[in-house]
Structure 1
């Protein structure tokens, strides 16, 4: 039984070495493997690290990252965080996420100085990072368009109380509704450009 456990551990170590060797090779080429892309993007905290670094000039301290992520996870402000909430995220970043991202080459993590710098190959991850506000805005626009279409169909086919309104008024309401949806979509685009 002990021999099997030893063999299993030995197999894991040799597999781990190959992953580390693969990371070193991809780092020198500045190209992430598909496995590394998925490994980095798998965890929400690692995605938040990339987002924060992009929004703050590409560099930050481990403490700043921990505060940002802890505030986001606890749905509060940085000032409203407890020391335990900060520490829980800081330890996870310090011991796990940042060293792994450094091994892959997405960030340059200096543990001694507590600094993190986004690397060029992180650009390969950007198409996969979702912008939740943009997704929600598109859902609202699509939902508004479906609702407007349903409302107009009830009027055009003279269903129930909608039969009392003339077809010309339905066309007018449809044009105004589409105009309002288009304005809302343009507003979302301008708001996203300001961020």
Structure 2
């Protein structure tokens, strides 16, 4: 099993591994993807920011007493959405300030890689039997 997981992990590029860490490891980008998947696209920047901030107020992230601090439209527009677009998870039209689509296949692939990365950590530990 360990060899299979390592082979699956090695099949992905370093770029994909970095994308997993940057996107799925960032609570704001992770939450943006959750909102987009729940509410669908196309979605304007203003509507996305409203949904993200509203859900943060009523449904805090696990392990957080207060949830994630509100994400401004400026941060979404200049940081989070371009990063998601760069790795092919969404298509963001910065001129129209609209998330046009979510690439579910690409996102699912990165989620699978993230799971494999975590699983490989389990098998890479030395045994203490």
Asked whether the two chains share a fold, i.e. TM above 0.5, the reply is: yes
Distance 1:52 1:125, change over 3 A: farther
Distance of 1:59 and 1:48 partners within structure 2: 17
Gaps of 5+ in 2: 1-12, 60-68, 116-129
> TM-score of the superposition, structure 2-length normalised?
0.58
Q: 2:83 aligns with which of 84, 89, 100?
A: 100
RMSD over aligned Cα atoms: 2.6
Distance 1:57 1:71, change over 3 A: closer
Distance 1:65 1:125, change over 3 A: farther
Distance of 2:47 and 2:34 partners within structure 1: 13
> TM-score of the superposition, structure 1-length normalised?
0.40
Secondary structure of 1:99's aligned partner: helix
The equivalent residue for 1:40 is 23
Equivalences for 1:52-131 in 2 at 5 Å? 52-75=35-58, 88-116=71-99, 117-119=101-103, 120-126=105-111
- Number of residue pairs aligned between Structure 1 and Structure 2: 90
Equivalences for 1:1-195 in 2 at 5 Å? 33-75=16-58, 88-116=71-99, 117-119=101-103, 120-126=105-111
Distance 1:96 1:58, change over 3 A: same
Gaps of 5+ in 1: 1-25, 27-31, 77-84, 130-195
Greater RCO, 1 or 2 (C-alpha within 8 Å, sep 6+): 2
The alpha-carbon deviation at position 55 of structure 1 amounts to: 1.5
The alpha-carbon deviation at position 125 of structure 1 amounts to: 3.8
Post-superposition CA distance 1:1-56 (Å, at most 9, x none): xxxxxxxxxxxxxxxxxxxxxxxxx8xxxxx6111111111211111111112122
| Pair member with larger Rg | 1
More helix by share: 1
